[in-house]
A and B are shown apart, each in its own frame.
Chain A
Amino acid sequence: MNKKLFAMLALVIVASMVLTACGGNPSTAAPAEPPSAETSAPAPTTAPAAPAPAQVEFTAPGYGGTLATVKERGVLICGVNSQVPGFGYVDAAGAFSGFDVDYCRALAAAIFGDPDKVEFRPVTASERFTALQSGEIDILSRNTTWTLQRDTELNGNFVHTTFYDGQGMMVPKDSGITDLAGLEGGTICVQTGTTTELNLADVFASEGIAYTPAVFDNADNTFAAYAEGRCDAVTTDKSGLVARRAVLPDPENHVILDVTMSKEPLGPMVRHGDDQWFDIAQWTVFAMITGEEFGITSANIDEMMGTATNPEVRRFLGLEGDLGLKLGLENNFAYNIIKLVGNYAEVYDRNLGPNTPTYIPRGYNSLYTDGGLLYAPPFR
């Protein structure tokens, strides 16, 4: 009996060891795959994605498909951020708010004439491109920087930039510093190992300003050191500075200088292969900018509808011509955007204006007539 039991036991152990080894093989292979998706969403998609655009460009099978899908569904699915103050978050009433979120509303207004026909899908930094490629979202509006690699490898197209972010500099208000030259000989807190640190060195070297960097290995330490007064200024992206300033014990005593030290153009992104959808997303941005340019706001637009004589304004409002129809939308799509969501200035002020806790000076995000970069092509 004992012998038999032992033999059985030995057999079971050997079998289980063999099986464990068998089971172990796939288990070691499996984890290797998803992390690559986590750290760099592009990697797994490059291989299957590469041949696709070639087909798309010549036969354009995707043309118009997204708009048809969205209309059939009756709701736009917009990938947004849920954790960036001022850009994308959920307010106490449970509604999504923020600058990037309002763009989604504007797009929904352009398509449906109803800014609420949009379903917000919070996406994390690592899953955003996959979500766009797999069709889980129709558009990505989540503070994404436009880069060459993302434009090509990730199978996406960036529409016009909605927010020109860039590296900024924060100083205590009572220091009286208003520009970079004021920091001559000062100490600047910066996070090490980031492009921020390199940009800082480049900009100060090119402007010939001497400074001492105080480097820290993470953002929390960097800002803690600044809060303790261990440096004269702190630098990171402006939108990040705003969020960090609000967390300081005395946010009202710190100012973000009106200088921009690097390029971080943030804008919505769509999939390759549907040019009509790209145009719609693009001209939604242009409509908001043009609205500000013409001085048309959600408050005065109905009045403008009656009094407008300028032919371009009349075309913009859909009173003349068929610009909206060319995009596959209603002719008054721009009217809907401005009336229901607002022009660029309104949206900016609502989320990032001087009366909000997340105030960012407009800087480059001003109209070209005010020295900014916002320049929309004509509505013609």
Chain B
Amino acid sequence: MTEIPSSLPPLSERPGALGWMRRNLFSTWGNSLLTLLSAAFLVWAIGGLLVWIFSAAEWRVVLVNMRLVMVGQYPVALVWRIWVAMYFLAFLIGNTVGLRMEKTTRKGLAVGLLFSPLVFALFSFSLEARLAIAGLSLIALAGWWLGSRWPQAFRRPVLIGWIIYFPVFMLLVRGVSGEGSPMEVVESNLWGGLLLTFMLTVVGIVFSFPLGVFLALGRRSQLPVVRWFSVGYIELVRGVPLITILFMAQLMLPLFLPTGLTIDRVIRAMVGITLFSAAYLAENVRGGLQAIPKGQFEAAHALGLSGFQSMLYIILPQALRLVIPILVGQFIALFKDTSLVAIVGLFDLLGIAKTVLAQPEFLGLQREVYAFISLIYWVLSYAMSYFSQRLEVALGVGER
């Protein structure tokens, strides 16, 4: 929107704001009437919303429960570990933005993103919380500066950083078991809020992706057993709603296990979500595989590549690139589907919102709490969608 056209039209054809309005909003009597009516409707609808947001709504319920919404019942004394993980993430994001600065057209937007945590620091949290939030911006900016100053030196480390990020994150959140370990273990029943939603989503995506690709390849395999297994698995799982799988994992599984043996509930949910997502992912990937012309297989064969090599180097990269929009759509859906675990008693973002609503001092503030968590869902879903668009541009999807 802010992009400046390479060459401006002559002054006489460059309409000002007034000219633009006359041409687009008030060109005819009918249009003028429609414009006025729409404006009145917008003022009525959005005005009411704004009045509610800024005067009627009691946001204290959200501010007081912010820690609960973010990390659930994670022990206060150990929350620093999550901050460390957040700082690491902020640095990676800043550094990546810095590295790619030359290629981005929207520099203002990118830098604005790094400053965005400062906005949260304005709210009435404790001083430590504000400093901790402001620290996110500082570290992101430091990463950005380092990245744009020495792009060559940071290219490799930042890639490694992204790859090891999730294992490091899990380690920090869970801690290390054993006697005298520097980081005591935080059991998964204390993970909650956005933290749990994030973990369920990332685990779902990271593990279902390879599983889905394997199933897609399996379904197209020449080996009958592999193919039958893949088809059977995909059709079985796709025939069952996710909530059923979660109920199965949370309620039925314990009945079949020998007494005394219990599997962590969060892990049960993670496995359920992963297995469910993999079946859908497999079909999406298979769609991409089918779109690759047979000539590609034949050309790869003619070059002397083995079946495995041609799949890995020729077919899969093209197929996956084709289905990026579908995959991202599925990941966004997966992110929101994780809220179903609230029904089986886990405190994810939605689960924690429901329990916050039961606090006697905040009864009846459903609108505030649900509005806030929908904002979180929206921001994160939009972020995923935005990065997928950037990825498509970077990979030239639809252009080649």
The interface of chain A, by Cβ under 8 A from chain B, is 15-16, 19-20, 22-24, 26-28, 30-31, 33-35, 37-38, 41, 44-45, 48, 69, 82-86, 88-92, 94-95, 119, 121-124, 126-127, 130-131, 133-136, 243, 246-248, 356-358
Contact = CB atoms under 8 A, between A and B. Distances in A.
Given A19-B232, A94-B76, A246-B363, 14 more contacts: A15-B227, A19-B228, A28-B239, A37-B247, A84-B358, A94-B72, A122-B345, A122-B355, A124-B343, A127-B247, A127-B250, A131-B254, A134-B254, A246-B364
Contact residues of B: prevailing secondary structure: helix
Contacts of B346: 122
Contact of B347 (A15, A20, A90): A90
Interface in B333-358: 343-347, 351-352, 354-358
Nearest to A84: B358
B360 A356 contact: yes
Interface string B246-257: 011011101101
A130 B255 contact: yes
Contact of B345 (A26, A35, A91, A124): A124
A89 B355 contact: yes
B79 to A, nearest CB: 10
Give the size range of B's interface with the partner.
Answer: 35 or more
A203 B275 CA distance: 53
A31 B364 contact: no
B359 A44 contact: no
A90 B255 contact: no
Contacts of B234: 23
Contacts of B364: 246-248
Contacts of A82: 345, 347, 351, 354-355, 358
Contacts of A83: 354-355, 357-358
Contacts of B363: 85, 243, 246-247, 357-358
23 contacts: A16-B231, A31-B240, A31-B241, A37-B251, A44-B255, A45-B255, A69-B260, A82-B355, A84-B358, A86-B360, A89-B355, A89-B358, A89-B360, A90-B352, A92-B65, A94-B73, A94-B74, A95-B73, A121-B189, A122-B346, A131-B251, A134-B257, A356-B360
Contact of B254 (A26, A28, A135): A135
Contact of A31 (B67, B189, B244, B357): B244
Contact of B359 (A33, A69, A91): A91
Nearest to A358: B360
Nearest to B354: A83
Interface string B198-242: 000000000000000000000000000001100111111111110
A92 to B, nearest CB: 5
A84 B228 CA distance: 48
Interface string B349-383: 00110111111110110000000000000000000
